[in-house]
């Protein structure tokens, strides 16, 4: 009796068919679950006379094994068959592709590049992990300048025998000036956008990395007047024709004379507000005439050539343009912040 039952079940499971996962599950429940057919046969096993137990036991095992193998084979067949996934509705409208937006710093950087390109400047580039030689030595930094201090700058590798071989994350893009000058001769007219690093506590107004755009122009008879006119043109192109600039004397090791440039505050129109600390002016860059020492250190004859350089802060200009109140927002990657710039270029 029980053997007949097993034989007929065996025939059934060998013929099991399914075209999707639900049907397979139904078969599993029917035959292999706790309350399934095979378990029912096993429950009957204790009534089998002792002399038949061996034969019946082997048959039950064969039945169970066959059922398992058949179900596995059906699963494989569904997974590998092309139209096996019944959950896939090919007639459904596709999900819309969500386009990203340009980062505000990229938007502003591109705009600045655009303005200087129209004045004949070409792009130059240099490494972010740079040596002391290009960041400091060739830029005429004194040996004991505080920027060369571990506390001020991120050093990656110290060289005990030769400080100029120390490797650091560049603290300004002025290093690209040295890179360009040592491989080319005037006329040189470049801008170099890039990221720079400083060991600063991260707050709304300071960060350990930010972006600069360096400018360098070297030729015969380049004067401070040229510098001033180029910067005025830039400020007006960037912030509007009524923008005023103000140059204040300053000091940088690589320029002489040096200046810092303010523009009339774009936010309050020069009347005074929280952003310009109620002065009506906002500093956006450092500049000056390239120090003859720098020219000589980089292989350019300072008796024949003169030049000017400037370095501007991309975050500061972006803040002025878009009134971003907290520097940290630029690097938090919050899409809600980035989506604010969907309408910008």
Q: Which CB sits closer to ligand DAH, 121 or 310?
A: 310
Per-residue CA distances from 288 to 12, 225, 241, 253 (Å):
92, 11, 24, 10
Q: How far is the CB of 288 from ligand DAH (least distance, A)?
A: 5
Angle between the N-to-C axes of helices 104-118 and 314-322, in degrees from 0 to 180, rounded to the nearest 10: 110
**Number of C-beta neighbours around residue 66 at 10 A:** 18
- Binding part of the chain for ligand DAH, among 2-10, 123-131, 266-274, 281-289 by CB under 6 A, reads 281-289
Binding mask 296-325 for ligand DAH (x = CB under 6 A): -------------xxx--------------
Which residues does the annotation place in the binding site for Mg(2+)? 256
CA atoms lying within 13 Å on the CB side of residue 343: 2
Q: Is 332 exposed, middle or buried (0-12, 13-18, 19+ CB in 10 A)?
A: exposed
Site for ligand DAH contains 286 (CB under 6 A): yes
Q: How far is the CB of 207 from ligand DAH (least distance, A)?
A: 14
Pattern of binders to ligand DAH over 241-260, x per CB under 6 A?
A: -----------x--x-----
| Residue 46 contacts residue 101 (beta carbons within 8 Å) | no
- Least Å from the CB of residue 177 to ligand DAH: 7
Work out whether 287 is an interface residue with ligand DAH (CB under 6 A).
yes
CB-based contact 162:278 (threshold 8 Å): no
Residues sharing a CB contact under 8 Å with residue 224, sequence separation 6 or more, in sequence order? 257, 289, 308
| Binding annotation | 256
Distance between CA atoms of 329 and 53, rounded to whole angstroms? 76
Among 214, 262, 291, 315, binds ligand DAH (CB under 6 A): 214
**Nearer residue to ligand DAH within complex by CB, 255 or 306:** 255
Q: Which is nearer to ligand DAH, 44 or 152 (CB)?
A: 152
Please report how many Cα atoms fall inside a 13 Å half-sphere around the Cα of residue 64, on the Cβ side: 15
Q: Is 210 in the site for ligand DAH (CB under 6 A)?
A: no
Interface residues with ligand DAH (CB under 6 A) are 172, 174, 214, 252, 255, 286-288, 309-311
């Amino acid at each position: 009796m029980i053997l007949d039952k097993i034989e007929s079940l065996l025939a059934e499971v060998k013929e099991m068919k399914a075209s999707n996962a639900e049907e397979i599950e139904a078969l599993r429940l029917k035959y292999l679950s706790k309350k399934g057919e095979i378990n029912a046969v096993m429950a009957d096993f204790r009534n089998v006379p002792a002399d038949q137990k061996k034969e019946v036991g082997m048959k039950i095992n064969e039945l169970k094994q066959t059922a398992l193998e058949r179900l596995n084979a059906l699963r494989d067949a569904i997974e590998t068959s092309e139209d096996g996934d019944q959950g896939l509705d090919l007639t459904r409208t596709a999900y819309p592709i969500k386009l990203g937006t340009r980062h505000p710093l990229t938007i502003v950087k591109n705009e600045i590049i655009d303005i200087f390109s129209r004045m004949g400047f070409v792009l130059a580039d240099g490494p972010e992990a740079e040596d002391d030689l290009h960041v400091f030595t060739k830029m005429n930094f004194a040996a004991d300048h505080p920027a060369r201090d571990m506390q001020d700058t991120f050093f990656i590798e110290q060289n005990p025998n030769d400080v100029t071989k120390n490797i650091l994350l560049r603290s300004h893009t002025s290093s690209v000036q040295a890179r360009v000058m040592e491989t080319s001769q005037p006329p040189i007219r470049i801008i170099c956008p890039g990221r720079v690093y400083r060991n600063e506590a991260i707050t709304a107004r300071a960060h350990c990395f930010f972006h600069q755009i360096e400018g360098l122009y070297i030729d015969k008879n380049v004067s401070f007047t040229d510098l001033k006119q180029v910067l005025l043109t830039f400020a007006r192109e960037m912030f509007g024709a009524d923008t005023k600039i103000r140059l204040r004397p300053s000091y940088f090791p690589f320029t002489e004379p040096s200046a810092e440039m303010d523009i009339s505050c774009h936010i309050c129109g020069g009347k005074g507000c929280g952003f310009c600390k109620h002065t009506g002016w906002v500093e956006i860059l450092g500049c000056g005439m390239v120090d003859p020492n720098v020219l000589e250190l980089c292989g350019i004859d300072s008796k024949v050539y003169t030049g000017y350089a400037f370095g501007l802060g991309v975050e500061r200009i972006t803040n002025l343009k878009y009134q971003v109140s907290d520097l940290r927002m630029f690097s938090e990657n919050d899409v809600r912040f980035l989506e604010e710039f969907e309408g910008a270029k």
